[in-house]
Amino acid sequence: MMEIMEGSHAVAEIVKRCRPQVISAYPITPQTHIVEALAQMVADCELDAEYITVESEFSALSACLGASAAGSRVYSATTSQGLALMFEVCFNVAGMRQPIVMTIANRSLGAPLSIWNDQQDSISLRDSGWLQFYAEDNQEIADLHMIAYRVCEDHDVLLPAFVCFDGFILSHTYEPVDLPSQEEVDAYLPAFTPYHRLDAEAPLSMGMYATPEYYMEFRYEVDRAMHRAKETFIRAGREFGEQFGRDYSAFVEGYRLDDADVALVAMGSICGTAKDAIDEMRDAGKKVGLLKIRTFRPFPGPEIAEALKSVSTVAVLDKNISFGSGGAVGTEVKAALYGSGAAVYDYIIALGGRDVRKRDIAAVVDLAEKGKGDLFYGLRTEVL
Amino acid sequence: MAKVEQEHELFTAGHRACGGCGPALAARLLLKATGKNVIIAASTGCMEVFSTPYPETAWGVPWIHSLFENVAAVASGIEASLKKQGRSEKVVCIAGDGATFDIGVLCISGAFERGHDITYVCYDNEAYMNTGIQRSGATPYGASTTTTPTGACAPGGNPLPKKDMPAILAAHGAPYVATASIAYPNDFVKKVRRAINTPGPCYIQVHTPCCTGWGFESGETLAMAKLAIETGLWVNYEMVNGVVEKAKKVRRKPVEEYLSRQKRFRHLFRPARQDDEIAKIQAIADANAERFGIDIKVKEPAE
Amino acid sequence: MALGVGCSAPPGRALENKTGAWRVFKPVFDPETCNRCGTCAQVCPEGCVHETEEGTFEPDLDYCKGCGICEEVCPKESIRMEKEEK
């Protein structure tokens, strides 16, 4: 059913339909509307879940881990400082192979403190073993939650996932969203069947420690699971398309890419602005296209190389920075395109919620065409 | 015939604790108290490390370890999940004093404030033993540790008092808080059973001397635990809804009898006696005696 | 054997580790003076003191680390630690 709703509410509504048994989350701007909406649903008897009002994000994810290990489907949401506080637990959850799904309402990291959007938070945990999906709009963020639970809980995968959407830009924006009914979600997402669980009938020690004799193999297993997740995602995305009419079987999506001379590469809501800018540039005769990355982990290197094989100039938009190196997406795209002969440029853009307009996208394309890249776009040099 | 018994132990032999380990005994007794219908959440620490090097686990019940400081939060999640599933297993945390008094204070406070139906057992060996005997919030006044070593500028050892964790958790509204000791195993088992059958968050702090960390012969573990109680430096008591109900009474011995037998207090006696420091420790014992009423009153003979 | 997912393992594998090899001193139990109180079995940190058919006690030397707690707690002094000849 099509409804105009705030991104946060779309997330809450879909999460409700995914039937988590335990919700454990700590409020943090700009995720607060999600956790508040879920609390109201529990209070209104709409959602039959245990809602733990934890005392910090660190505890939020730790409680999710316990509940998941005991056999419940769980849910949490966070961003920025909260996700940073969960750093230790994130690695622990992935290593313990618990299929926790967590919404990230992407927000910049302090210092300096900022409540506004960029993608530094989730990207900074790219080593952790969590799958990472990025939504372009509120329809995608709703859909990706269902797909995430499907993929994560698959016994071939058993890894947690960040389902990411840009804070404020999507979380606090009203868009039309086609929300499935409870029956439709139940048909797509069956009840959680844990691979194993804490159970007095079948005791198990979970989270033992590993000496050098074993540790490496356990890490290899996580990496293998991450690679297996690609197949699982394709299958889950295709079946989603068959049931709901919106196909998610691709890790990347091209927009007017076929004959492009310059290709932009980006993740998240900036893709929407980029598409509008591309339409304008195309009208003016410029052959520009976009490659949207939907899954950042597992990183779709071969798929990116394939999609961009005929493009001579690539401009990556990075809403993050790895200090002393470059943008994370740009770095990994460059690695994927190694040997292709394309000129790949990285643009650090829109950090801390700085607005990106169509003319900014056009300016980036202009810079790329002139061979000027690997820079911070749009610096206010007058304040430096 | 003796071998068959081993399989009935829910906490088996083959673990890698030092010979004479106090916490190892506490783990055995804990599972005797809980039986099979339990889920144990453990923190990083000596007990976790010596009992679960992959794949050799000594635990015969469901057991989970996550991180050093989050066992109470993990247990909160387990409890919520079991509630939702309608399951009956008891949720019991087992963590050392480091994980409980210091780094885990955030999570334990949150769990107790929210009133989860869990039991938290802290095995107190009075320092961060697993990482090499560093000071914790549970280290008693005057003890030498590797981060409160004695030297010319610090002749007295640990200058800080032992954090009163039972009182802190009682202040959170915990319905049942108790201290125990492996010197009195039946008492510890009884208290665990009471805690797991009391709805709400319950806390038991069990004294588990560490021969390696405190510096005494491995066979003396229980003797040390008993001396701690007999000198008043450890008090076995119960608090019900924040009020002390029962404290074990003793015919008190001077603290010196306890201190002189452990290397961690040797600096109080050699190279020279530090009588003022010993007196301060005696004062701590006297204050405990006063607060909990542990002294057995000797009747004055009638004239 | 496949790795236990998430670094997990079922019960029992610690028993593969025969800690009796650590021992320097060995406990010798005297059934004649034993009063069958069972304290030694209760407080052994390894859980490796077991009741015999006669109701007295004996150590499982596969696991006994020779710590000496049983000797210290026995009310009848019926257990003695002896240097083990290897």
pLDDT per position as a tens digit, B13-68: 999 999 999 999 999 999 999 999 999 999 999 999 999 999 999 999 999 999 99
In chain A, beta strands by DSSP E: 2-6, 22-24, 50-52, 74-78, 101-106, 131-134, 161-166, 174-178, 205-206, 252-255, 262-266, 288-293, 295-297, 313-318, 343-348, 375-376
Q: Do A159 and A222 touch, CB atoms closer than 8 A?
A: yes
A318 and A240 inside one domain:
no
Q: Does C2 touch chain A (CB under 8 A)?
A: no
Taking the CA atoms of chain A, what radius of gyration do you get in angstroms? 21
Question: B253 lies in a domain?
Answer: yes
Is C6 in contact with A209 (Cβ distance < 8 A)? no
What residue in A sits closest to C8 (Cα-Cα)? A206
Q: Do B3 and B40 touch, CB atoms closer than 8 A?
A: no
> Token pair for residue B301?
């003979």
Phi/psi of residue C40, nearest 5 degrees: -55, -45
A113 and A7 inside one domain:
yes
Amino acid A347 reads Y
A219 and A75 inside one domain:
yes
Helix, strand, coil percentages, rounded to 5, for chain C:
20, 20, 60
Residues 6+ apart with CB under 8 A from B145: B127, B133, B134, B135, B139, B157, B158, B264
Q: Do B277 and B268 touch, CB atoms closer than 8 A?
A: yes
Is C13 in contact with B56 (Cβ distance < 8 A)? yes
- When pLDDT is averaged across residues C67-71 and rounded to a whole number, the result is 98
Structurally, chain B folds into a number of domains equal to 1
- CA pair distance B42, B70, nearest whole angstrom: 9
- CA pair distance B46, B136, nearest whole angstrom: 14
Question: C8 lies in a domain?
Answer: no
Q: Which positions 37-76 of B are in contact with C (Cβ < 8 Å)?
A: 51-52, 54-61
Domain span holding position C41? 18-83
| B22-34 vs B185-196: helix crossing angle, rounded to 10 | 50
ipTM score over 0.90, yes or no:
yes
Sort out which chain B residues have CB atoms less than 8 A from A202's CB and list them: 62
A221 Cα to chain C: minimum distance (Å): 9
Question: B173 lies in a domain?
Answer: yes
- When pLDDT is averaged across residues C46-66 and rounded to a whole number, the result is 96
Q: Give the pairing of strands B237-240 and B176-181.
A: antiparallel
pLDDT at B299: 75
A150 and A212 inside one domain:
yes
Question: B44 lies in a domain?
Answer: yes
pLDDT at B229: 98
- CA pair distance B208, B127, nearest whole angstrom: 11
Burial of A217 (0-12, 13-18, 19+ CB in 10 A): exposed
Question: B116 lies in a domain?
Answer: yes
Q: Do A235 and A157 touch, CB atoms closer than 8 A?
A: no
Domain span holding position B172? 2-292
Sort out which chain A residues have CB atoms less than 8 A from B54's CB and list them: 208-211, 214
Q: Domain with B183 in it: what CATH number?
A: 3.40.50.970
Name which of C24, C46, C71, C72 to mutate to probe chain B: the one with the most chain B Cβ atoms within 10 A of its Cβ.
C46
Q: Domain with A75 in it: what CATH number?
A: 3.40.50.970
Q: Domain with C52 in it: what CATH number?
A: 3.30.70.20
Residue C83: count other Cβ atoms within 10 Å of its Cβ: 9
Tell me the Ramachandran region of residue A6: left when phi exceeds 0, alpha when psi lies from -120 to 50, beta otherwise. beta
pLDDT at A4: 98
**C23-48 burial by CB neighbour count: b if 16+ within 10 A, else e?**
bebbbebeeeebeeeebbbbbbbbbb
Residues 6+ apart with CB under 8 A from A8: A30, A31, A32, A33, A34, A37, A105, A171, A172
- CA pair distance A356, A353, nearest whole angstrom: 9
pLDDT at B3: 40
pLDDT at B297: 82
Question: Counting one residue from A and one from B, how many pairs have CB atoms under 8 Å apart?
Answer: 159
Sort out which chain B residues have CB atoms less than 8 A from A211's CB and list them: 53-54
Structurally, chain A folds into a number of domains equal to 2
> Token pair for residue B23?
């916490």
Centroid of chain to Cα B105: 15
Taking the CA atoms of chain C, what radius of gyration do you get in angstroms? 16
> Token pair for residue A14?
């879909």
pLDDT at B5: 47
* pLDDT by residue, tens only, chain A of 384 residues: 899 999 999 999 999 999 999 999 999 999 999 999 999 999 999 999 999 999 999 999 999 999 999 999 999 999 999 999 999 999 999 999 999 999 999 999 999 999 999 999 999 999 999 999 999 999 999 999 999 999 999 999 999 999 999 999 999 999 999 999 999 999 999 999 999 999 999 999 999 999 999 999 999 999 999 999 999 999 999 999 999 999 999 999 999 999 999 999 999 999 999 999 999 999 999 999 999 999 999 999 999 999 999 999 999 999 999 999 999 999 999 999 999 999 999 999 999 999 999 999 999 999 999 999 999 999 999 999
Name which of A97, A205, A222 to mutate to probe chain C: the one with the most chain C Cβ atoms within 10 A of its Cβ.
A205
Sort out which chain A residues have CB atoms less than 8 A from C10's CB and list them: 203-205
A257 and A300 inside one domain:
yes
- CB-closest option in A158, A205, A218 to C3: A218
**B107-136 burial by CB neighbour count: b if 16+ within 10 A, else e?**
bbbbbbbbebbbbbbbbbbbbbbbeebbbb
Q: Give the pairing of strands A205-206 and C8-9.
A: antiparallel
Return the closest-CA partner of residue A319 out of A274, A276, A353.
A353
Q: Does C1 touch chain A (CB under 8 A)?
A: no
- CA pair distance A192, A72, nearest whole angstrom: 7
Reply yes or no on whether the pLDDT at C2 is more than 70.
yes
Helix, strand or coil, per DSSP, at residue B66:
coil
Q: Do A233 and A251 touch, CB atoms closer than 8 A?
A: yes
B39 Cα to chain C: minimum distance (Å): 13
Question: B299 lies in a domain?
Answer: no
Which position has the token pair 């406070």? B109
What residue in A sits closest to B55 (Cα-Cα)? A208
C1 or B24, greater pLDDT: B24
DSSP class of A207: S
A37 and A166 inside one domain:
yes
Query: Is the bond preceding residue A30 a cis peptide, omega within 30 degrees?
Result: yes
What residue in B sits closest to A65 (Cα-Cα)? B74
Question: C49 lies in a domain?
Answer: yes
A111 and A219 inside one domain:
yes
Residues 6+ apart with CB under 8 A from A306: none
**A92-126 burial by CB neighbour count: b if 16+ within 10 A, else e?**
bbbbbbbbbbbbbbbbbbeeeebbbbbbbbbbbbb
A135 and A260 inside one domain:
no
A267 and A370 inside one domain:
yes
Element (H, E) at C84: none
The low-confidence residues of chain B, meaning pLDDT below 70, are 1-7, 302-303
Residues 6+ apart with CB under 8 A from B299: none
A24 and A145 inside one domain:
yes
Taking the CA atoms of chain B, what radius of gyration do you get in angstroms? 19
Domain span holding position A260? 252-383
Q: Do C12 and C37 touch, CB atoms closer than 8 A?
A: no
Residues 6+ apart with CB under 8 A from A292: A136, A252, A253, A254, A255, A266, A267, A271
Distances A218 to A66, A95, A232, C7, C15 between C-alpha atoms, Å: 20, 8, 21, 7, 23
Question: C50 lies in a domain?
Answer: yes
Q: Looking at A244, A261, A281, which one is the last position of a domain?
A: A244
pLDDT at A372: 97
- CA pair distance C48, C70, nearest whole angstrom: 11
All partners of chain C with 3 or more CB pairs under 8 angstroms: A, B
Question: B297 lies in a domain?
Answer: no
A102 and A200 inside one domain:
yes
Structurally, chain C folds into a number of domains equal to 1
- CA pair distance A346, A333, nearest whole angstrom: 9
- CA pair distance B204, B30, nearest whole angstrom: 11
Sort out which chain B residues have CB atoms less than 8 A from C58's CB and list them: 2
Q: Which positions 160-219 of A are in contact with C (Cβ < 8 Å)?
A: 195-196, 203-210, 214, 217-218
A232 and A321 inside one domain:
no
Calculate ∠ Cα A275-A240-A76, nearest 5°. 85
- CB-closest option in B20, B56, B217 to C14: B56
